[in-house]
Amino acid sequence: MYARILRLYEAAFGTEPTDVRALGADGSARSYHRLVGSDGSTVIGGVGPEAEENEAFWSYSRAFRSIGLHVPEIFATDAEAGVWLMEDLGDTTLFAALDAERRRAPGSFPESMLPAYRRVLEWLPRFQVEGHRVVDYGVAYPRAAFDRQSIQWDLNYFKYHFLKLAHVPFREAALERDFARLVDLLLAADTDHFLYRDFQSRNVMLRGGEPWFIDYQGGRRGALQYDVASLLYDAKADIPDSERASLLEHYLDALEAVHPVDRAQFLEVYPGYVLVRILQAMGAYGYRGFFEQKARFLKSVPYAARNIAGILESGLPLDLPELETVFRRIVDRWSDEPDGSPSPAGLRVGINSFSYRRGYPGDETGHGGGFVFDCRAIPNPGRQERFRDRTGLDTGVARFIEALPEAGAFWDSVRALVDAQVDTYRARGFTSLTVSFGCTGGQHRSVYFAERLAAHLRERYADVGLGVLHRESARWPRPAGTPTTE
């Protein structure tokens, strides 16, 4: 792909770039490079694996620029290779500017950032109302509208990729009833507008004192409330409620300049959109953090938990008893953590299950201390028809494994080795140890032993922190309605 970007640059500008620098792609599957010309000018080269997503981005960009919205110009595209060249908007995101101001004056939300946020919110209605008139929803990806199916994907994303991977208990049938009520509330809103989808501080660039906008390729037809909720409840931006209220009023003033607004009706549905946006974001934190093992995404969880605490304090927008119970569990577990990191005062044991087909788990600690245990010598419950769609979390699977003589001998060896290591690490003041269990598919044997070790350590060592990650859980058999990831 790198070579295709270079060829596209030569075709577009008639010369080779003098320098090419890779840029970070954060949580996206896309990647970016900065290409420098002989005169010092720069453009950004993008690489995207999804052809339909690329087409949506290019089409939306051209439509938005045609009405004067601040988005990058697309200079050249190669649809077959999935690469393109676009205008370089610099390196300063709204979040980077906010973070820099906070470093200069730690504490509350920097008052100096309010003008930038107000300016961003003045541009948002233009995308939602004017942009809606010019975009081609025929290229929208993966859905043309934030409809019932799209909302359900987001709710399932939260359920499967956050709640299940973080081992937050819930009653599935009761939670699904709450989800259905929430969807009904959301669809009561006027949805005939452009919904940007990921309107948050990392997708706003600041250039020349003005905001410019990127990453709208997931845009679709939807409600006005979603995008303003996305910006104001952006987890690590950590905007205080008082500032959120004033910024929301500023947005509504800007919206009224381009579109008639019934404020009471808007505000009646708005809390529901705040809720679904937080749930979608937490699903993303779980998927990127627990499943893809990108630890930086988990640092946003405590901020999201504090947002949830505020919502609980002010009251949910309707009766959602199981979701409220789940929220209280999340708040109790995460809201007091400053950055999602474990406390340095003690040992933390990370326990993984994984499939050997997909390689060994990564080492987030950097020192590689711990064990990898191969469970494949133990008979595989997955070969039994009755267990094929179950996992090592299932009682029947556990009983099957526990009845095997090989499993008992294996467990005795694991327990002796890990206990000795934990005792040594605690005595020497070490802070992290990793224990991983692998099997063929990462679904039965490895999951069972990971859970068994966690239960054993929890009972034996009250002062040891524990984290359990079943890396392949997103690939386990799912019921209908399992989400795709966007």
Tell me the pLDDT of the chain (486 aa) as tens digits.
Answer: 678 899 999 999 999 999 998 886 666 678 899 999 999 999 999 999 999 999 999 999 999 999 999 999 999 999 999 999 999 999 999 999 999 998 887 777 899 999 999 999 999 999 999 999 999 999 999 999 999 999 999 999 999 999 998 889 999 999 999 999 999 999 999 999 999 999 999 999 999 999 999 999 999 999 999 999 999 999 989 999 999 999 999 999 999 999 999 999 999 999 999 999 999 999 999 988 877 767 678 889 999 999 999 999 999 999 999 999 999 999 998 877 654 433 334 788 999 999 999 888 876 665 668 999 999 999 999 999 999 999 999 989 999 999 999 999 999 999 999 999 998 888 787 888 999 999 999 999 999 999 999 999 988 887 788 888 999 988 888 543 333 333
Q: Mention every residue, 6+ apart, whose C-beta is less than 8 A from residue 419.
A: 460
Shared-domain flag, residues 285 and 393? no
> What residues have CB less than 8 Å from 254, skipping those under 6 apart?
121, 122, 124, 125
pLDDT of residue 252: 98
Q: Name the helix (H) or strand (E) containing 332.
A: helix 321-334
CB 202 within 8 A of CB 26: yes
114 and 254 housed in the same domain? yes
CATH classification of the domain holding 284: 3.90.1200.10
Matching residue, tokens 């079943």: 470
Which pLDDT value is given to residue 132?
Answer: 98
Quick count: other Cβ atoms within 10 Å of Cβ 230?
24
Q: Residue 110: what pLDDT?
A: 93
Separation of alpha carbons 1 and 6, rounded Å: 9
450 and 361 in a single domain? The answer is: yes
Please tell me whether residues 44 and 109 are part of one structural domain: no
Alpha-carbon span 464 to 71, nearest angstrom: 49
Q: Is residue 369 part of a domain?
A: yes
Overall domain count for the chain: 3
CA distance 483 to 279: 13
Q: Give the pLDDT confidence score for residue 327 in this predicted structure.
A: 97
User: 328 lies in a domain?
Assistant: yes
140 and 172 share a domain? yes
364 within a domain of the structure (yes/no): yes
Residue 317: asked if its preceding bond is cis (omega within 30°), the reply is no
Q: Are residues 289 and 312 in the same domain?
A: yes
- Which of residues 87, 104, 119 is at a domain's end? 87
pLDDT at position 462 is 76
Residue 153 lies inside a defined structural domain of this protein: yes
Are the CB atoms for 457 and 449 separated by under 8 Å? no
CA nearest 231: which of 192, 203, 209, 271? Answer: 203
Tokens of 382: 């997955």
Three-state SS string over 348-415 comes to EEEEEEEEHHHCCCCCCCCCCCEEEEECCCCCCHHHCHHHCCCCCCCHHHHHHHHCCHHHHHHHHHHH
Give the model's pLDDT for residue 212.
99
Domain presence at residue 341: no
- DSSP, res 93: B
| Residue 270 domain-assigned (yes or no) | yes
How far apart (Å, rounded) are the C-alpha atoms in residues 467 and 72? 42
Statement to judge: residues 203 and 118 lie in one domain: yes
* Domain identity same for 330 and 359: no
* Of 29, 61, 87, the domain-final residue: 87
**CATH of residue 58:** 3.30.200.20
SS3 per-residue string spanning 262-293: CHHHHHHHHHHHHHHHHHHHHHHHHHHHHHCC
Out of 289, 307, 334, a domain closes at: 334
Residues 24 and 62 in one domain: yes
Residue 460: the pLDDT is 85
User: Does the residue 484 lie in any domain?
Assistant: no
> Two tokens at 171?
């009653």
Distance CA 127, CA 64 (A): 8
Degrees to nearest 5, angle at CA 72 with 66 and 74: 75
- My answer on whether 329 and 362 are in the same domain is no
Residue span of the structural domain in which 305 resides: 94-334
CB-based burial, 407-419: b 16+ in 10 Å, e otherwise:
beebbeebeeebe
Return left, alpha or beta for 63; rule: phi > 0 is left, psi -120 to 50 is alpha, else beta.
Answer: alpha
Same domain, yes or no: 134 and 269 = yes
Query: Are 211 and 271 part of one and the same domain?
Result: yes
Residue 340 lies in a domain: no
pTM: 0.71
The end-to-end CA distance of the chain, in Å, is 22
